Every structure is written in C-alpha cells, then in structure tokens.
Copies of this chain bind each other. A is one copy, B any other.
Amino acid sequence: MIGPLTQISRTEHLPARIAAQFAQQIQEGDLKPGDRLPTENEMSKNFGVSRTVIREAIAQLRNEGMIETRQGVGAFVIGRPTRHIRLDDRRKMDPHGFRDLFQLRVPLEIEAAGLAATYHRAEHLRQLDEALQRMKVTDDGAGDGIIADLDFHRAIAAATGNDYFVQFLGAVSDRILQTIVESRERIRLDEIVAIVNREHTELRDAIAARDPVRARAAMRTHMVGSAERIALRLEFYL
C-alpha cells in the first residue's frame, strides 16, 4: 500500500518539516485563529510518522506562539499571534536588506549612547576600557578586533541599564558584523583602525563625562563613519 502524496519523505528533521507545513497553512489562512488542529493520533496516521514526531512539531509551533494546546481538549490556532521578531537568515547577503538592518541600528546606537552617558556605572566603564584596550592591542583588524568592537558596543548597550537595548542591539549589530566578516574577509582595516579607535575613545570619554548630548553626537559620527567605510548610503537628519 502506497501512502498519499502529502506524506513526509524523510531527508531532514521530520518535526521541523511538519511544523513548517502547519505554519504555512496558518500563514495562508487555511487555518484561522480559534481553529482546532487534528488530534495527534490523526496527524500521526495522516503523515505516516509516529506520535512522537507530531508532538515535537506541535511543541515547536507552541514555542513560536502560533498555537496553544490544552490538555484533554486539543491544539488550537492562537488568536492574536504574539509578535516574535526574527532576523531571517534569508536576506543575509542581500545588500538591500543589509542597508535596512544598518538603518535600524543607527537610531538604536545613538539612543543607547545617550542613555549610557546618563545611567552607566563603574563596571560599565571598566567593560568599555577593556574592549578598547583589546582593539588597540590587536592590530589584526580581522579577527579579535571585530569581536572587541562588538564587545565595545555591547558594553554601551549594557550601560543603558535597559535590557531591551542589550537584546535588540545585540541581535542587530551581531548580525551586521557577521555579514561584514562573511562578505569581505580581507577588508583593509589597517588604515581605518586608527580612525575607529579615535571615534571609540571619544565615545567612551563622552559617556564617562556623563554628557548625553556629546555621547549621542559621538555615536552619530561613528555611525556615519561606519556607513561610509562599508560604502553604505544612508540618511542622517540629526
């Protein structure tokens, strides 16, 4: 007996594929909020896989906030989809998407600089100096320098005292630097590194001086410079 064509052929993780199938049905509106999914046993029979796999697929959808399960009742498509934010891997190399990402980063970094100047504590200054030191030591721009750069900005985000900035900026700038590293492995940082260090130092001093306006200006300058260095055309109104 040959199963129907909708059955899952196995070249990859079964649960992920089944979850994707249901996610698509929800996205396309075939399954509307409030609708009940088939029982696990039914799915198990229909897809030709064990209930274990079905359960893992459902658990995945539940974690993503698309469905809700009630013991003894069933699984239901969630009403108001909790907005999860995800930086898709798809547009990683897309230059347009890259510009969009940078465009998003700029205001966050500037605001973070201002808040960091206001709210930072001694430990944050220590983190900033530590990252600065590492950037100056490692003349090699490619490897540790990039990581130290990332840590420097991460420290600024931490200094805001606002965990959302840590999360958002962490994800965004992490993704940006990753793309840079991947696309231009051999970027010539030798001449640039001095400029970046100067900008970072000014940024650090402005924060240490608890001067939000100066910190914001410094970060703005740094962002403009960064954009130019990677040949990005952006608008800066302030």
Q: Which residue of B lies closest to A104 (CB)?
A: B164
Partner of A82, one of B84, B100, B165, B170: B170
Range class of the A interface residue count: 35 or more
* Interface residue? A64 (CB, 8 A): yes
Instruction: Determine whether the beta carbon of A15 is less than 8 Å from that of B59.
Output: yes
Stretch at the interface among A2-10, A109-117, A123-131, A193-201: A109-117
Chain B, Cβ-Cβ closest to A86: B84
Chain B residues positioned under 8 Å from A216 (CB to CB): 237-238
Q: Is A30 an interface residue (CB 8 A)?
A: no
A163 within 8 Å of B by Cβ?
yes
Residues from chain B with Cβ under 8 Å of A221 in the complex: none
A83/B163 in contact, CB under 8 A: no
Chain B residues with CB under 8 Å of A101's CB are 164
Q: A73 contacts which chain B residues (CB < 8 A)?
A: none
Q: Chain A interface mostly helix, strand, loop or mixed?
A: helix
Proximity string of chain A (108-144) to chain B, C-beta cutoff 8 Å, 1 when within and 0 when not: 1011001100100000000000000000000000000
Tell yes or no: A225 within 8 A of B by CB.
Answer: no
Question: B87 near A115 (CB under 8 angstroms)?
Answer: no
Tell me which residues from 53 to 97 in chain A have a Cβ below 8 Å from any Cβ of chain B. 55-56, 59-60, 63-64, 80, 82-87
Q: Which residues of the partner chain B approach A187 to less than 8 Å between Cβ atoms?
A: none
A226 at interface by CB-CB < 8 Å = no
Complex interface: chain B residues within 8 A of A110 (CB): 107
Bitwise interface map of A from 173 to 188 toward B, beta carbon under 8 Å scored 1, else 0: 0110010000000000
A114 contacts which of B160, B174, B178, B237 (Cβ < 8 Å)?
B237
Name the distance in Å between A151's Cβ and chain B's nearest Cβ: 13
Interface presence of A206 (CB below 8 A): no
In the complex, what residue of chain B is closest to A173 when comparing beta carbons? B83
Say whether, besides A168-B168, A178-B80, A111 and B107 are in contact (CB < 8 Å): yes
Please tell me if the beta carbons of A162 and B104 are within 8 angstroms of each other in the complex: yes
> A55, A108, A164: which has the most chain B beta carbons within 10 Å?
A164
| Contact of A145 with B by CB under 8 A | no
